[in-house]
Structure 1
Amino acid sequence: MTKYNMQLKPDAVAREVIHGREQPPAVRTSLEQATAHALSVPFPITGDASTFFAVADDLDGEWEWAVFRNNAPDTSESATMRALLRKVRAAREYDEQSSFDNNWLTGFDLRKKSGEWPDTSIHAFAADDGYATLSVRDRFVLCSTDNMSAGVCTATLSLTTHLDGDPLDAELEIGTVFLDPECRGMGLSYLLAEAAASSMVSMLGELHRRLVSRGLTEVCNVELTVTGECISPGGERFLETTAYQFEQQWYAFLCGASEQVMVNITEIAVLDE
């Protein structure tokens, strides 16, 4: 039977209610400590404007369509974004008159509304708030050798741990998907999904390397959600394609690893916001 101290003076009782009892500091496991440390430094942005994130070759083995980060090759970021904005405006009349299925996900965030694209940042620290999270914002541009800047995809990737023994939360949020109407029906959106998935694989690969550097022996479980605000079945298919691409690329990462991978994907979910 639990006994309660009924002799507390009213002011003492008030202090107990308002401030609560002093709690001992939480004892973190080695995995929680290593994960919090891994998320305490911004993740690097991999690749540059000359790096292929996805590519489709022609019959001669030369690239015909490819996805680059932020801007087209040999073209400035501002020029690339202006070209895409012109195509977005021109496509509006086409999209209104054609099937709504041609519109995929909302938010044509092509301009730099806040911060830089791409960008990596830390949002909280485990020591202060009981959780740790960081994110990377990416913008991918689909280009061709004769039709530069034919499409775009924006994505925000985040990793969050609440340091409570539950799996780490990973989220791949698609913000915008746009493809020039002249280039639709050719399966090219697949390349944008492939690029977004590649960025998530790189992020989790970096998490693996950081955990290894801490001498961790316990595997970090991760639940991944691929999400976006879909406005048509086409948007839903894009999210599903991105999730499928991630699964295939992560499997290739596991097969190519020379050591035990310290990140275990326990679930891949697709969520339409």
Structure 2
Amino acid sequence: MDDLPKSQLLQFTERAMVLARRAVTRFSTRYSRKRFTLRQHVVLLCLKVKKTATYRGFVDELIEMPRIRDALDLESIPAPSTLCKAFDRLKMAVWRVLLNVSLTDLPVNGIAGIDASGFERAHASTHYTKRTNLTIQQLKTTLLVNTATNAVLDIHVTTTRKHDTQIAPQVVKRNADSIGVLTGDNGYDDQNLRQLTRDHGIRPLIKHRAFSSPHKAWNARLDSDLYHRRNMNETVTETIKQKHGAFVRSRRWWKQFRELAIKCVVHNIERTLSVSRPV
């Protein structure tokens, strides 16, 4: 078996384990039973999302994956409830750190695009949506994407109907050091956002709403080569939806947010392997 070439799934597992070692400690607390490490939980949850499987279905597949278990140094198979509880314990901040770490081996330039899309909440809690008077059926997910390697730099998720111009400033402030040029469609046409980007030394390439002749003239003078790179946002979003599902399985909103963050981490790991893979 050792003579067999490494599958893409095995390469993904090994890469995810390298990132997990950089991002999280070995155990969450000194009182841990130490049967499974925190890093093993992180990689297993990434594999579950990559395979778009349920907890029970993924554990069943893991039984037939001896090379994956060896790569993770798993001495036993975790129960589905074990992985579910690990997902509950790992906060959104952990996945944001892992998302940042996943960018370390990608040739990221300073040109980023921002765009929003919706993910279906097929298993949303009826009690929660009723209690908060929510009727929206999708999670509004805003991705900040680097146009050089189609890597996800940041993610913002909301259950509300916030306008793009209310979400973008928060994303820009979090990533100001890694953005040189920000591209966006006319949904992000807001003078406050333009001023915010300039204050952080970022060049805004955001299309104006064509309400008058000057707006049409300004749009015509946009750097078309740079501006059209914002199409990479749509490419990344569709790739994530096709490969890892256009929906979330979790029932609680905070779990749904984390699930989408894991999808972005998985996407970045796959991009790293794709860039480093010889042609």
**TM-score of Structure 1 vs Structure 2, range by shorter chain:** under 0.3
The structure carrying a bigger helix percent of its residues is: 2
Question: Given the two structures, how large is their TM-score scaled by the length of structure 1?
Answer: 0.26
Structure having greater relative contact order (Cα 8 Å, sep ≥ 6)? 2
Q: Which has the larger radius of gyration?
A: 1
